[in-house]
Chains A and B, each alone.
Chain A
Amino acid sequence: MTTATVPIPTRTPVKPFYFNTSAHLQRITQQNANTLSEFLEALRHCPDGSIFQHSFRTLEEHHFIREGFSNDFAHWALSACNEPSLAEGLASVDVREFTSVADLRERFVQIVESFLQRSSPTTAGRAARETFYFCASDTVVIPTSFVAGTLQEFAEGLRGVTVHCIHHHFIEARLRLKLMSNDFSQWLYEDLGLTEAARQLNRIDIYTLTLEDVRNKIIRVVERALI
């Protein structure tokens, strides 16, 4: 690592950054779907934790896949229903554009409704090859041993934490913050005044990168800010 030779920034944050992480347990809900019609109905009524599980959370579970995986709904539409255009529509939903699960649910519902309106009347009732089981995520937030009182410590924390911690602060955070941003950008912007670094982090594409790649990109942005 080259961090030892990097100059220590003069700026100190207003408050330290505490790295936390979230751990999730999947709960099996009562909803499942064997047709697109049942799927739409379940999408409307499943718990918020299910929408979170099959979009935000599944991205974390499959963080190592670079391309071809977006969310469980899109995957089921393709693999079990053989509906590529519906799958494309569902896969195009970018979780970063949503700061509430209700809005995200509404978007998925709209896509399925719109697809069924355009399709033949039999499409909605045709049996899928596999059942879609709606699960929900029960989450526990836990601290880590990493705390950053300087930008350099922040970079070290980013290197040391798990990808779950990266997901917690960088992707899930917008549901907590209710902002189109993330905990890292917020800290860089609010506590260090690093506007450009904060903006650059928000432009990292989480769908074409693994979470390890995302981590490395964040570290590079922070390292540039250190110079």
Chain B
Amino acid sequence: MEPVEQQIQSDSTVTDRSSDQLATSPPIAPARPERRRTPRTWETPPTPVPPPRLDDYKSIVGTAEIDELKFLAGELKGRTVKMVNSTAVGGGVAEMLNQLVPLLNEVEVNTHWEVITGGNDFFEVTKAFHNALQGSEYNLTQQARDIFLMNNEQNRQRMQFSEDVIVIHDPQPAALLRARQESHQRWVWRCHIDLSSPSPEVWDFLRPFVEKYDAAIFSSQAFARRLPIPQYLLYPCIDPLSEKNKDIEDSFVQHVCDEFGIDRSRPIVTQVSRFDRAKDPVGVVQAFKQARKYVDCQLVLAGGGASDDPEGAAVLKEVKEAVGESPDIIILDLPPWCALEINALQRASTIIVQKSIREGFGLTVTEALWKGKPTIAGAVGGIPNQIIHKLTGALVHSVDGCAYQIRYLLTHPEFATQLGQNGHEHVKENFLMSTNVRRWLLLLRILIAGGAN
């Protein structure tokens, strides 16, 4: 029997989507799941939901927590902040700003968000910078420097910078700092990428700009550089109210499993990630096969990127070769707007794996922990910030280690449950949007309202 590879098929596509409708009115589930090669899913992205308000988080983190946050904002009322990044849609930074900016405005910290503009040549250069700063080799030409500086200068002339605090996100607009004037104004560089081993050439080019900021912010201690300015740690976060993370009816979870041919009566091990070598999907298959010799389980590899990315397609091919004839491995190549289905798959899982060999912060780990799932993950990037080995999850360094942890957690359910509970609490304390707002308010207080006690 061939592994089940399921991709979006237009013949069974639903275009009018309402997640609530789906969650409350599932089709009748078959008595026994049947593997479908053409699962029903959606061809177009769902309509975006309006951003949440602070009070919406009270049911999750408690009233006192939100009240504390409002007290924290008290001394910042009327202050102004400008966030600048390079894209209004797509990507984690835009997604985060879409939620953070309204929440800051709600507590009367007047926050504006502006997006820089540039031609294809500029964004090709910044894409190359992005990769080079994360370790890829790159030959920095004078032309690339000129394109970068010229586009930053054009944006500087177009934009106004009158706010109390200017927050520049990532390297693309870093040279806007030239707009800085001698005043009370504070400039902050928010770096969302891993700078632990950057291309020296590109970092040497950007460093003089970064050093002139008042502070820099990184997503993990491991991502920071030695700089003469204060550096703060602000973890990325997930929104517990989003499609990807909100509570959903179990009937919807069942519906998704039925559609994808997943048997909920048997243990389910899942990795959710793009078909990317950095996520080591082949290693996951190998670990699963080792563990499967001793414990009954299924593996779900749910990802995307194989249809529009040549490298993703090549990785998917490698994964299929590694899977071979294994009937218990289910590969799902999903479009990016299947957040609700991913949510359901994570909730249906017995164990979640994120066996990355390179990683940013690893928000799929955060999502798994939030759902109380015992999680096994590679000890790379920001993952050790989230997984404290044997306390909030299991950190692994190899295929063998991953296989052992799958076996161990499946055969020690009480321990696995405890890990899941601790993981959930860890996310609640440190990696939710409400905590992110708290940290931003703290940073603003420290920068403009007299510093820390």
Contacts and interface: CB of A to CB of B under 8 A. Distances in A.
Contact of B231 (A23, A27, A160): A27
Contacts of B65: 162
B386 to A, nearest CB: 12
Contacts of A65: 388, 391-392, 422
B68 A140 contact: no
A130 interface: yes
Residue of A22, A26, A28, A79 contacting most chain B CB atoms (<10 Å): A28
Nearest to B423: A64
Given A61-B430, A69-B388, A130-B379, A140 B445 contact: yes
Given A65-B391, A138-B446, A28 B72 contact: no
Contacts of B389: 79
B79 interface: no
A133 B219 CA distance: 13
Contacts of B395: 79
A27 B68 contact: no
Given A27-B230, A142-B68, A63 B429 contact: yes
A21 interface: yes
A12 B380 CA distance: 56
A161 B62 CA distance: 10
B362 to A, nearest CB: 15
Given A25-B232, A65-B422, A162-B64, A142 B429 contact: no
Contacts of B294: none
Contacts of A30: 226
A126 interface: no
Interface string A55-89: 00000011111001100000100010000000000
A135 B222 CA distance: 11
B54 to A, nearest CB: 15
Contact of A64 (B232, B422, B446): B422
Contacts, number: 93
Contacts of B430: 61
B112 interface: no
Interface in A16-69: 21-28, 30, 32, 61-65, 68-69
A64 B71 contact: no
Interface string A132-168: 0101001111111100000000000000111011000
A131 interface: yes
Contacts of A145: 67, 71
B410 interface: no
B31 interface: no
Contacts of A139: 452-453
A23 B405 CA distance: 36
Interface residues of A, number: 36
A62 B443 CA distance: 22
B221 A135 contact: yes
A140 B446 CA distance: 8
Given A61-B429, A138-B452, A27 B233 contact: yes
B144 interface: no
Nearest to B69: A23
B425 interface: yes
Residue of A64, A68, A130 contacting most chain B CB atoms (<10 Å): A64
Residue of B67, B68, B395 contacting most chain A CB atoms (<10 Å): B68
Given A25-B232, A28-B218, A68 B446 contact: no
Nearest to B224: A28
Given A61-B429, A68-B390, A130 B384 contact: yes
A142 to B, nearest CB: 5
Interface string A160-194: 11101100000000000000000000000000000
Contacts of B426: 62, 64
B425 A64 contact: yes
Interface string A107-140: 0000000000000000000000011010100111
Contacts of A24: 442
Residue of A63, A133, A138, A144 contacting most chain B CB atoms (<10 Å): A138
A162 B71 CA distance: 13
Interface of A: 21-28, 30, 32, 61-65, 68-69, 75, 79, 130-131, 133, 135, 138-145, 160-162, 164-165
14 contacts: A23-B72, A25-B446, A62-B426, A64-B425, A64-B429, A65-B388, A69-B388, A79-B395, A133-B221, A138-B446, A140-B442, A140-B453, A145-B67, A162-B68
Given A135-B233, A138-B446, 7 more contacts: A25-B442, A27-B232, A28-B221, A62-B426, A69-B388, A145-B71, A162-B62
- What 6 A-B pairs have minimum CB-CB distances, sorted nearest first? A133-B221, A64-B425, A138-B452, A26-B233, A28-B231, A25-B442
